[in-house]
Chain A
Amino acid sequence: MLIELKDVSYLYSRDTVYEVRALDHVNLAVEEGRFIGVIGHTGSGKSTLIQHMNGLMKPTEGHVFFEGEDIWAEKYDLRKLRTSVGLVFQYPENQLFETDVLTDVMFGPKNKGLSETEARERAVSALKDVGVGEKHFKTSPFELSGGQKRRVAIAGVLAMDPKVLILDEPTAGLDPRGRDEILGRIQRLREERGITVILVSHSMEDVAEYADRLIVVNNGKIPYDGSPREVFSRYEELEGMGLAAPEITYVMHELRRRGFPVDVTADTVAEAKESILKELKGGRKRA
């Protein structure tokens, strides 16, 4: 198992009147090579959860394991963990600081102790992975468009060669094309390099499209954990948690209610199209 949380709780302002249990006895195992979506309303505990995965936060109770080792055991190398589990924060472009794109992406690998040449190789390959072309290498990161900046910031984490890439709302504020480009690139990284991806998102449509496992965080607990189809079939409960299902899910349920025997678990446009076409054709044959 790549990452494992065993009975993890996290308390803010412990032993004061402001005590808040942000994580409440969470158990979670992340297998290698998955694309996991994490959804939950603001304040549900999902940011606290992901920060436990690379040791930025220490559980108040319970244990976190990476590749079988307790990351809070004595002498455990947390620095190494943080290169293996790369975390891309919200609005990562705010963390760009170097004079040009290539130097910015090289900062991490160099800091890790790699030579100039190795760091450059890593940076070039990471920038290629996110689709930032060579013509931008010497550009100031501040002159790029919003989507490009964000991709450079993601490259900065990829250049550390992580096994797990955790992204906290990587598409917030991007136009639809920018959103598809970033998620498409991440999908490809997972397919070609086997990187495990954990995507925190407020877009139900995006997690339905890309994730093969969906985790719902609510009040510091994980009430649902399964395929997007399974999770979205609980759309009524999700609404009670300040969430929703993709628009498509509602269309399919309504069609079924009206006597159309479509597949209600279809949660993407492509799946819905296929199911509706099948039923329409079937209907015509019967008629």
Chain B
Amino acid sequence: MGIIRAVKLAFDYIKYGEDDAGSEKVRALDQVDLDVEKGQFIAILGHNGSGKSTLAKHINALLVPTEGSMWVDGIDTSSEEELWHIRQKAGMVFQNPDNQIIGTVVEEDVGFGPENIGVPTPEIWRRVEDALDRVGMLAHRSKSPNKLSGGQKQRVAIAGVVAMRPECIVLDEPTAMLDPNGRKDVIQTVRELNEKEGVTAILITHYMEEVIFADRVIVMDQGRVVMQGTPREIFSRVEELKALRLDVPQVTELAYELKKAGVPLADGILTREELVEALCSLN
């Protein structure tokens, strides 16, 4: 069994009307089956409101299923006594860095999680140092977080998760507020954690360029998983993605447009190098 597994997962939330005008149930997730193997890099795409954040919040038990079940490393997330255990295994990073940093000094912020679960002090410092080193922020350990750029803050938030020694890290649009360099640094950090440390990564994003390295891409619509496959498979389906309010990387789009105009190119070209190579071999 994989590290993250959802079986026929459904989630309802109650929407209350104005002035007690009654309430209605809204199904945010429906019939979601998911099986993620340890060490994989998974990307989740979907338009605003497609249910991807709701799914992500199930992975560390911020939400529990209305129907069906979610298992993290073999633990059912609906068992309340395992809550802290689950959250130690699966850490989350959110969109806005300013909402998730609480310490007044970088290293204190990173140490908050381990301290909270009772890790002995010398061990906390070891973990803090190690975590900051892994995200490339060790030089900033004594700084105040508000002196950092957005990308640096997100890397501190990732370090906070890494210090908990998680099996898996879930990132919900971690780059939405960042400039190009910040975006690059954050994605690079996540990829290194995944490749070198074997941490399972789940990345939710609206930047199509960020997912071309993923092992698998999951596309959500109306609370369901509607497409699943390698980046190449998914990005070969340009029209379907556009119908789902999504897009493809610019390079893929250019290749697709050229192909439509009669240039013999393969489907799902993902990188600049591939496209340049393919075009040069034509001339």
Contacts and interface: CB of A to CB of B under 8 A. Distances in A.
A174 B206 contact: yes
Given A173-B95, A173-B173, A251-B272, A205 B250 contact: yes
Interface string A127-148: 0000000000000100001110
Interface stretch (B66-74, B107-115, B126-134, B251-259): B251-259
Interface in A237-287: 242-244, 246-248, 250-251, 254-255, 258-260, 269-270, 272-273, 276-277, 279-280, 283
B47 interface: yes
A256 to B, nearest CB: 10
Contacts of B149: 41-43
A84 to B, nearest CB: 29
A260 B245 CA distance: 34
Given A42-B179, A258-B280, A251 B251 contact: yes
B171 to A, nearest CB: 14
A205 B180 CA distance: 11
Interface string B243-265: 00111011101100110010100
B280 A260 contact: yes
A177 interface: yes
Contacts of A118: none
Interface in A151-173: 169, 172-173
Given A42-B150, A283-B283, A176 B246 contact: yes
Nearest to B206: A175
A43 B282 CA distance: 45
Contacts of A259: 280
B contact patch SS:
helix
A258 B263 CA distance: 18
A272 B257 CA distance: 10
B103 interface: no
Contact of B263 (A41, A176, A277): A277
Given A251-B276, A258-B276, A173 B251 contact: no
B102 interface: no
A55 interface: no
B47 to A, nearest CB: 4
A247 B248 CA distance: 12
Contacts of A272: 254
B176 interface: yes
A277 B206 contact: no
A213 B173 CA distance: 30
Contact of A145 (B48, B206, B250): B48
Given A169-B177, A178-B48, A280-B279, 4 more contacts: A173-B173, A176-B246, A254-B276, A260-B280
29 contacts: A41-B179, A41-B180, A42-B149, A42-B150, A42-B179, A146-B48, A173-B95, A173-B206, A174-B206, A175-B46, A176-B247, A178-B48, A178-B245, A202-B180, A242-B182, A243-B179, A243-B181, A247-B249, A247-B272, A250-B272, A251-B251, A251-B254, A258-B280, A260-B279, A269-B253, A269-B257, A277-B258, A280-B282, A283-B282
